[in-house]
Amino acid sequence: MVQFFPIIINYDGYHDFRLKYPLATIHFLLSIVGYKYKIEIPESAICPLLFTDGTFQNLFGYPENVLNWLHYLDADNPINLLHFIFMNEKYSVYELMLEMDKFFRERDEISIEKERGDRLRISDRDGNPFNLIRTGELYKFENDAKERVIKFIQVLARLTGWEYQITNWSWGNLKLYKFIKQDFQGNKLTICNRNFDNFIVTNPLSWAMTSGVNIEFTMEKPDKL
């Protein structure tokens, strides 16, 4: 199965990729940056920081992996910001569930049909632009979609104490690229050294081993960055 999907980047060419592991990129960065710079994290920020990239589900779905990462990132050290997030004495499992539920309800107030409040849909199943308006060769987000995103960002800002800087966000002047997403199972490939070597030679834009029998990947076509 071949699936097309668009990626939006700023016209100046910046693009970002997310690290894939049981926590989220922000936890990885906090564990590094927090040793050099003083970063204030109130207790109200714990729920959104556990929500990021599905970390809350991963805690109990993949406990061995999560514990390995926490140990690797030195979360056992009390001066590490991750210690405050993941080993906070205030939250029992039950208390954490109650707080996460409050966060989900606040998120749901922003949601509309088929679009959760914490997500911005940019394409349909066929890869056609969604929530986007074309302006010449570039694109901008529809106002309703933009306002929903800003509402959710402002919820995060209030809970974390990290100010939403509107000048650091781009909602227009965007260029659209369309890439192909595939996986080994869809191509009837097994994971073995020969297939993996042949796959790497194709120079995928990104890839992730999503299970013991499958690799999902993105090919830089029909467009190229």
Spatial separation of the C-alpha atoms in residues 115 and 200, rounded to whole Å: 35
Q: Give, for all 225 residues of the chain, the pLDDT tens digit.
A: 444 444 444 333 333 333 345 788 899 999 999 988 989 899 999 999 999 988 998 888 888 989 999 999 999 999 999 999 999 888 888 999 999 999 999 999 999 998 999 999 998 888 889 999 999 999 999 999 999 999 999 999 999 999 999 999 999 999 999 999 999 999 999 999 999 999 999 999 999 998 889 999 999 999 998
Tell me the two tokens of residue 9: 């980047």
Q: How many domains does the chain have?
A: 1
From the centroid of its chain, how far is CA 194?
31
Partnered with residue 206 across adjacent β-strands are 218
- The sign one gets for the Cα dihedral 18, 23, 25, 28 is negative
Q: What share of the chain is helix, strand, coil (3-state, %, to 5)?
A: 40, 20, 40
| Domain presence at residue 155 | yes
| Domain presence at residue 207 | no
| Domain presence at residue 72 | yes
Task: State the pLDDT at residue 2.
Answer: 43
Tell me whether residue 84 is exposed, middle or buried, using C-beta atoms within 10 angstroms of its C-beta: 0 to 12, 13 to 18, 19 or more. buried
**Is residue 222 reached through a cis peptide bond, with omega within 30 degrees of 0 on the bond before it?**
yes
93 sits in which H/E element: helix 93-108
| Domain presence at residue 122 | yes
| Domain presence at residue 130 | yes
| Domain presence at residue 160 | yes
CB 49 within 8 A of CB 176: no
Domain that holds residue 61: 3-183
Task: State the pLDDT at residue 125.
Answer: 82
DSSP character string of 170-223: -SSSEEEEEEEEEETTTTT----HHHHHHHHHT--SEEEEEETTEEEEEE--SS
| Domain presence at residue 225 | no
**What is the identity of the amino acid at 181?**
K
- The sign one gets for the Cα dihedral 78, 98, 104, 56 is positive
Task: State the pLDDT at residue 18.
Answer: 35
Q: What is the DSSP letter of 112?
A: B
| Domain presence at residue 68 | yes
Residue the block writes with tokens 């927090």: 34
Spatial separation of the C-alpha atoms in residues 5 and 124, rounded to whole Å: 8
Query: What is the pTM (predicted TM-score) of this model?
Result: 0.77
* Closest CA relative to residue 171, chosen from 144, 135, 149, 141: 141
